[in-house]
Structure 1
């Protein structure tokens, strides 16, 4: 990046308007020309601009720090491969200190991209949204490697916000971007892994399996056992959803055995939950509930617990055990109060549906379902929209509200088309 671009980047990072930075130094249009690389400022103007940005002239002399960038990238690889939050915090702090010391380093854009990616691992540290908006302004100046980082960050952000279709679209763009460009093996493994997660959430199971297998090949080769377990869990979930229940059970049991051999408890909750889900689909409710309860015992974070609480509620409701369903509905409602912001709305809408059904809130039934449909539709979660349209239509038909029922049967079919990523019923065949 040239000096003008670095000045623009730092000005935006400090949330300073062009007019405010230019006042008393030069006219805003001249500052704009500097930032766009159309003119080189005089030493006097450069000095005053940097002073106003609280940047020392000494910070311009950072060419001796090339080795530092190599160090950061090596550490960054280690953090992403290990998923170690302690290492992530340490590296984030190192990068922040370096940026403060050398705000106009020519690799500043790459450093900010690394910083934003680390913040996605550490959401409790800082909201990354504003950083992403600033980085997006510099897309034209980015190299392919930098765009790779930016799009990956955008895709992960969409995924974390439950916008799975958008996330998959972004990751597809990443693969197109790097076509013919040699990325490092560990970067491709990470891209394959997050793509498989996104596709799994979008119910594109065959593709998810393909990407997960690509990722696991690298993780096995590098003996990154925890990452291999993560990929096995993705494989098992995808196998489960395409009806390969015995294969899925074998995959989850393999993940459980590997996890036990390394004396880890990190994945116990997730593995037991998915074993329960498989047995539920095999209509072995006793085994399903047993694994769900095992899962819940190992979980401590409300964000993790809520997934299994909802699964237990569904299992009891499916079996017609309304007494236990009500007990777990109450547990779910109580737990939603302690969820992170990204999870709270999602699960509140699920539990509001079950509350309306179990407590037979007939007067508010349609409004409760509509609110949930608006939420899930806004997140492009068409699978849940499709399911809940069917549930509402069936209940309306059961009370002879046939006109309203037909509306939601039709709406459910439209969501089915969206979920299948087609535009007409002919494309379904």
Structure 2
């Protein structure tokens, strides 16, 4: 047994001794001193395996049987966790067995692993609050060693942080604690997953150079593995990051690699994957001012799978292209009430009013006060950098230079934030 597993047996001895209401003297007599037992139970010393066997036997537990039972549970949990990481559906038998392993006590590593795998399962079915609540119960029992409980905790908690848009938390944890060091002994796919998510957090935080650094590490860790869906995610994320670094041709190379992969691997050819990839390509063209190409790819993306995020992007590109016919058709087909995400609704308001013929100063100010402070609060800097100068230009047409100045200040603040984070 490894030292860490022996420490687990020490905790098992303590748990069962307390459950049976026995004192250390009662269990230790004839085997070791009570003080030595105390150090075994608390993981201060590692005893001979025969000592663990005698102590557990005194508590009515067969060490060999216990090891076999734990080994089977461990193998089951690893299989289920691997399936969850690969976005595979659990069988009813697997889910039933996973559920039966759940406990309110986390005295043993196997209990921690069961809880962590179940938390990852809850995440996979979008029960995010339940996943987070379970993680909070488990967190005090994580020892922060290069062990499976720590590695799974890092992986699962990173996923949950992302779901709650807590990008800064992921970044700070890696910068201050270097939790990736605990992943060094995990399998390479888990390492790649973790670095991918750190890259994702940096990208959403506008620290694009760091995002590129971590996506490159993720790609290196993932090399020589056949998991096409994750490979597609790597191509797409690297393309998105390069696009935001204004390295457009390199971004398009990544997106082209993603298209080749999708064309040749039928198992990942879903409308969602095609839609997401074409949306990214469209945005790359939009950022270059190639609005005709952008509109074409946004339309193609929406044909694969109707996505209101793609629709609002399609509207914005159509406005920039000056294509009133397409824009008006989109407004008719997608009225404001169809959008449920607030920044989509606000973009709809901005574009609808901007495309109208009769601009009014009071209406401009009403929309400005409603939208731009929200964009700033939510750190939607890219949206501010597009819409605030547009609104400033409208104000200048009315000679309302004070209001125009306010909009330019919004844009300047957003630009400075992006600059600071990109240079960090």
Please give the TM-score of this superposition, normalised by the length of structure 2: 0.71
2:79 maps to which residue?
A: 75
1:348 maps to which residue?
A: 345
Which residue, 264, 269, 291 being the options, matches 1:265? 269
2:336 maps to which residue?
A: 333
Task: Determine whether 1:286 maps to 2:289.
Answer: no
2:37 maps to which residue?
A: none
| 1:290/1:416 CA distance change after superposition, 3 Å | closer
8 A Cα contact 1:309 1:332, kept in partner: no
Greater than 6 Å deviation, 4+ residue runs: 101-104
1:233 maps to which residue?
A: 236
Which whole-Å CA distance do the structure 1 matches of 2:128 and 2:160 have between them? 15
8 A Cα contact 1:151 1:171, kept in partner: no
8 A Cα contact 1:144 1:177, kept in partner: no
Which whole-Å CA distance do the structure 1 matches of 2:413 and 2:276 have between them? 32
| Gap runs ≥5 in structure 2 | 1-7, 17-40, 43-60
Which whole-Å CA distance do the structure 2 matches of 1:224 and 1:180 have between them? 20
What do the CA deviations read for 1:364-418 (whole angstroms, capped 9, x no partner)?
5444444434444444434334444434434333322222332332343233333
C-alpha displacement at 1:137, in angstroms? 5.0
Task: Determine whether 1:207 maps to 2:210.
Answer: yes
Which whole-Å CA distance do the structure 1 matches of 2:369 and 2:95 have between them? 42
C-alpha displacement at 1:251, in angstroms? 2.1
Which whole-Å CA distance do the structure 1 matches of 2:221 and 2:335 have between them? 39
Task: Determine whether 1:401 maps to 2:406.
Answer: no
Which whole-Å CA distance do the structure 2 matches of 1:381 and 1:70 have between them? 43
Which whole-Å CA distance do the structure 2 matches of 1:92 and 1:273 have between them? 35
What do the CA deviations read for 1:187-219 (whole angstroms, capped 9, x no partner)?
211111112222222333333233223323343
8 A Cα contact 1:276 1:292, kept in partner: yes
2:420 maps to which residue?
A: 421
SS at match of 1:178: helix
What do the CA deviations read for 1:48-86 (whole angstroms, capped 9, x no partner)?
xxxxxxxxxx9xx976531244224421452254222x1
| 1:272/1:224 CA distance change after superposition, 3 Å | same
8 A Cα contact 1:79 1:88, kept in partner: no
C-alpha displacement at 1:231, in angstroms? 0.5
Task: Determine whether 1:318 maps to 2:320.
Answer: yes
| 1:191/1:133 CA distance change after superposition, 3 Å | same
Task: Determine whether 1:94 maps to 2:94.
Answer: no
Which whole-Å CA distance do the structure 1 matches of 2:91 and 2:172 have between them? 27
Task: Determine whether 1:219 maps to 2:222.
Answer: yes
2:383 maps to which residue?
A: 384
What do the CA deviations read for 1:347-371 (whole angstroms, capped 9, x no partner)?
2333233344345575354444444
1:412 maps to which residue?
A: 411
8 A Cα contact 1:220 1:228, kept in partner: no
8 A Cα contact 1:389 1:409, kept in partner: yes
SS at match of 1:94: helix
SS at match of 2:420: coil
Larger mean Cα displacement after TM superposition, 355-364 or 272-281: 355-364
SS at match of 2:102: helix
Matches within 5 A, 1:136-215: 136=139, 138=141, 143=145, 145=147, 146-173=149-176, 175-176=178-179, 178=181, 182-215=185-218
Which whole-Å CA distance do the structure 1 matches of 2:102 and 2:194 have between them? 27
Which whole-Å CA distance do the structure 2 matches of 1:66 and 1:105 have between them? 10
8 A Cα contact 2:103 2:111, kept in partner: no
8 A Cα contact 1:155 1:170, kept in partner: no
Residue-pair matches, total: 364
| 1:283/1:358 CA distance change after superposition, 3 Å | closer
8 A Cα contact 1:216 1:227, kept in partner: no
RMSD: 3.9
SS at match of 2:362: coil
Which whole-Å CA distance do the structure 1 matches of 2:115 and 2:347 have between them? 37
Please give the TM-score of this superposition, normalised by the length of structure 1: 0.70
| 1:241/1:309 CA distance change after superposition, 3 Å | same
